[in-house]
Structures are given as C-alpha cells and as structure tokens.
Structure 1
Amino acid sequence: MAGPLECVRVVSVAINLPGPAAVARLVSMGATATTVLPPSGDPLEHYARAYFDELHAGQDIERLDLKSHEGRSRLDVLLAEADVLVTSSRPSALVRLGLDHESVGGRHTQVCQVDIVGHPGAAGEVAGHDLTYQAGAGLLPDGRLPATTAVDLAGAERAAAEACAALVERSRTGRGSRREVALSDVAVSVAAPFTHGLSAPGGPLGGGLPVYAVYAASVGHVALAALEPQFVARLCGALGLAPEGLTADRLREVFSGRTAQEWQQWADEHDIPLAALAPRA
C-alpha cells in the first residue's frame, strides 16, 4: 500500500547520521528521495558501509561538488521539483552555498526546509556531535562512551516530524517554511527522564524498583520490567512469591537458577515483560 508521503519528493544534502536517518524515515512513509553527497562522500560510508547502505536504500544518490557552478545548477534542478530539503551544515556554510532558507525559498517557494544544527539560533555555528550533546545534557555521568548515538537518532525522528509539520503548514499557506532541529535541544529532551530523577541512579527506573532491573541468570542476564500492578501480580503468581517477597536480593537468587534464554521462554509463556540481554554486536 502507498505510504502517507507518497508523491512527496525529498532532497538531502545532509551527511553523517541524523540527516540520512531522517530521510530514511521519510522514505519509509512513502516519500521519494535524492541524496546529494560531496565528491568525498559521506563519512558514514567509511565508518559503517552496511549501515550507510541501509539508510540510503531506495534512494537516488548523486555526487556533486556544490562549490562549483555545475554542482549548484544540478542541485537547483532537483530543488525545482522538491517538496522537502534536509540539511545538516552550519548556517554559514549554507549561506556560502546559497542553501540558506532565504535563498532556497526565494528560488523555490514550495520547498519545506529542515535544517539540522548542533545548537539553536545564534549558537548554530558551535561545533559538536552526538557525544558532546550527550555530555552537555548530563547523559554520561560515569564517563563512559554511550552504547549508541541516541541524540542523533532522536534528532532524526524529530527532523522527520518537522518535515511533516512543514508539509501540513504548506497545505494551508501554499509556501514552504524553515524548520530547525537543534541536536543540543534534542539531547535535553532525551535526558529528561534522567534529570528528573526517573532513571537516575536509585530512581524508580534507575535501580530503585526491584521489578525494573537487570539480573544475572545462570548463563547471561535478563532485564525485568514489571512496572504495572497486573505485571507485578503475574510475576508474583508465576514465581510463587508474595508481593513483599519481590526484593532485589530474592529476585537475584531466583534468576540465578536458570539461563537467560530459559527465563525468556518462561516470561513469554506467562506474559511477563522480561527479555534476555542480547549479546554485543
């Protein structure tokens, strides 16, 4: 079946991760996309080629030197038929290339432009990447590298949402608009459960609740997330424990008696939110 964004045409000049992930999300909803890469390519091609290919599946890729007249002319041809433009460069770089919204909107009034930047507004020139945004938002309290680029990916989802919002706005006004996604703001949103104490150490989702924790099994580990009363009751019944017996020490003892995969099968049979930890990729 056709997706909700069928007939929406996206042009992207965004490299690295947030932009391509945002465009992949739009494509998954039915949009068609052309990604314009510089002659040197996208760094992601070199770091993780399989991931790059996954994010660009179903898209047209053109390699253009946008510093040249020929490259900018070809991009203008693409923009003349585009509905959405996704960028991820500093504002000054967009101005130099004639890709700031004032310039693009002046030539192509129908284009909805989504600019992914590091910091909002006047701070848009400040350099950064996922790691620095997570650090600034307090998401690296133990000083270790994060397991994933959570801000980049959350930023991609926000950028896709902003593109959809701009398309809705255009349906009312008849003109495209500019939407800005600042990754530092996204990091603050992602960090909110931690900064509000929900997932901070000792918080309800940070080790304070025995029914929401990770436990060692005889082989492997399991993640238990029996938050709602019905799951707590089901857990007690399946384990033969009274509610007051659901202490961390008792659960550690219980889960050490089987392998993680055995507990996974048990949880599936009893409709309990528990998962065996997948091995590191």
Structure 2
Amino acid sequence: MEPSGVASGPLSGLRIVTLAVNVPGPAAAARLRGFGASVVKVEPPSGDPLMHQNTAWYRALSTGQEVVRLNLKEAGDFALLEGYLAGADLFLTSSRTGALERLGLDPDGLRRKHPRLCGVAITGYPSPRGDEPGHDLTYLADHGLLTPPEMPRSLLADLAGAERAVSEALALLIGRERGIGEAGAHVEVPLSEAAAYLAEPLRYGITAPGAHLGGGFAGYGLYEASDGWIAVAALEPHFWEKLRAELGLGDAGREDLEGIFRRETAAHWEDWASARDLPVAALKGTPPDGRPGTEHRTTTMTEER
C-alpha cells in the first residue's frame, strides 16, 4: 500500500516506523499520521490480522501509510527494517517483550544502533509481565468493566491504549527536541493500565450500581421509550430542573419519568429535547427486543500479547 498525499501538521517531517498490528498500534499510528508524521508500517508476510477480520477498518487505519511486508527472521528483510529505523524518529511496537529481545529490537539494542530513535511499546501488562497473553476482553474483565453475557460494543482498552501511546509518543518527541531526558527514550504502554484508568469511575464508586452516575440519580440514566431506549443526561441542576419543568413534573422520580418516556418514540424524545436544549439522545443500534447490546455476542480478535 502506497502513501496517498503528504499530510501537513505539527509532526510534518517526522518519520514513524511501526511493527504494531491489529488495533491499538494501527489506531495510534493513524492518529500520528493525522498530525502530519510519515508512517512506514512493517507487517509480517501474512499481513496484519485485522485485514482478515475487518478489511474496511484495516484500510481506514492504514490510509496514507507506506505498508511493507517483511520476514524479520530473514537477514535481508531485517536489514530493510534497519534501513527504515536509521532515519526514523519513533519506533512503535505491540509485540511481546521476549519477541523483541530475540530480534535485538528491545530498548537497549535499539539505543546502541539508533541513539536518537524514540520508542513506544504497547504491551498487554507492564514489565516484568510483558510476555503474559491478553486481549481487550481480558483487560476489561480484570477491572470489572463487563456485564455478562453481553459483549462490549467497542474495544475500549485497545483504543484507550492507542490514545495513551499517542500521548507518550508526543511527550518523547517533544522531550527529545527540547533536550530533556534521553535523546532516544523508550516507554511502555500497557493496555491493562489503560483499562484500569477507564475503570477509575467504578473504582471510586461514582458509577457503581445505585451510585449517583450508576442509576441513583433519576436525571442520569437509560429510559425505555415506546420503540427503543433513550439516554437522559440531565446531570447539572439547571438541566434537571428544566427537564422536570418541561415535562410538567414537580419532584419527579425515576418511576414518573419511566411512565412518561414510554408514551412516545425514542426519536420523538430526542427531537423534543433538542428543541429545548436538553441532553437526551436515542440509543442507536438498539436491537428489536429493546435490550441494548444483546445483538453483539461475538468477539473481535486482537493481537495476543
């Protein structure tokens, strides 16, 4: 795949080489490409597994990048990778720690050969657990972010990890240019820690069942309409007071709102709220039985780490 056009932005002139396949690494590389960096994506001979799982998303994440396939166990192909790294500013990986060490692509090996090259390693767990296997689903399970039997509708840890990788990459590159710290510093971005960060509202209790944002406050929750569901987020006092006033309610509770919202369609309530500057949205993609999320019961495979 050849790059299409030259992106402009704050990272123009910087070059990124990525070995990261599946979701977190490609999502991070796409974001950095959007900031203007040029990206060389090195895939294994069989290609990125995401290409076989979802071609459309794979192509979207690879847009504007130079994609090459190399067998890094072969000397000639490994030499090609070294050529790319010689002129690069950032090296992005998502392989297990042991696999990178065997190839001499661990931080110590890279510093010896490419002292100005910054590195971001997306891992499953932090060192010394870098070789333990895991996926988005197991990271979410570790931190109580699943509601069986429904499968999550997004790859939350993977995408949160991608954003963390972007932040760490920017910090490394800025630090290098300002002469702060090592010229070619390397950091880990464990996806399990990204999941832990997403779980902080639950850990502190604000989204626990019955807590203020976990169903305890009637102005913030999910309500059944006549043909689906709506999300009501009248969190601030002025929204909550206005919602009750527009519905003709005084000291409204959840049962009062449930009775009213069932009278009309979800689209009706979304339009009604929009006209009154109230935060209400119809749930998109709700299955026919009206239970959000029940049609998504298959997993999307991400890279085993």
Q: TM-score range by the shorter chain?
A: over 0.9
Indicate whether 1:75 and 2:103 are aligned. no
Alignment of 1:122-271 (within 5 A): 122-140=128-146, 142=148, 144-173=150-179, 175-242=183-250, 244-245=251-252, 247-271=253-277
Indicate whether 1:2 and 2:8 are aligned. yes
Indicate whether 1:66 and 2:75 are aligned. no
Pairing partner for 2:118 from 102, 112, 131: 112
Alpha-carbon deviation of 1:145? 2.5
Q: Between Structure 1 and Structure 2, which shows a larger proportion of helix residues? A: 1
Give me the TM-score of the superposition, normalised by structure 1. Answer: 0.95
CA deviation profile, 1:129-177 (whole Å, cap 9, x unmatched): 1111111112225454322210000000000000001001111337111
CA distance in structure 1 between the partners assigned to 2:228 and 2:151 by the alignment: 23
Indicate whether 1:23 and 2:29 are aligned. yes
User: The residue matched to 1:125 in structure 2 has which SS?
Assistant: coil
CA distance in structure 2 between the partners assigned to 1:257 and 1:52 by the alignment: 43
Alpha-carbon deviation of 1:181? 0.4
CA distance in structure 2 between the partners assigned to 1:27 and 1:230 by the alignment: 41
Structure 1: which 5+ residue stretches go unaligned?
none
| Relative contact order, higher structure (CA 8 A, sep 6+) | 2
CA distance in structure 1 between the partners assigned to 2:229 and 2:146 by the alignment: 23
Alpha-carbon deviation of 1:128? 0.7
CA distance in structure 2 between the partners assigned to 1:8 and 1:194 by the alignment: 39
Alpha-carbon deviation of 1:45? 0.8
Residue aligning to 1:95: 101
CA deviation profile, 1:79-126 (whole Å, cap 9, x unmatched): 111111100011110011121111122211221100011111111111
Alpha-carbon deviation of 1:2? 3.4
Residue aligning to 2:289: none
Residue aligning to 1:42: 48
Alignment of 1:269-280 (within 5 A): 269-279=275-285
Q: How large is the RMSD of aligned CA atoms in angstroms?
A: 1.5
Alpha-carbon deviation of 1:274? 0.7
CA deviation profile, 1:12-64 (whole Å, cap 9, x unmatched): 00011111111111112221111100001111111111111111111110011
CA distance in structure 1 between the partners assigned to 2:232 and 2:159 by the alignment: 25
CA deviation profile, 1:166-206 (whole Å, cap 9, x unmatched): 00111133711101101111111111111221112111111
User: The residue matched to 2:174 in structure 1 has which SS?
Assistant: helix
* Count of paired positions: 279
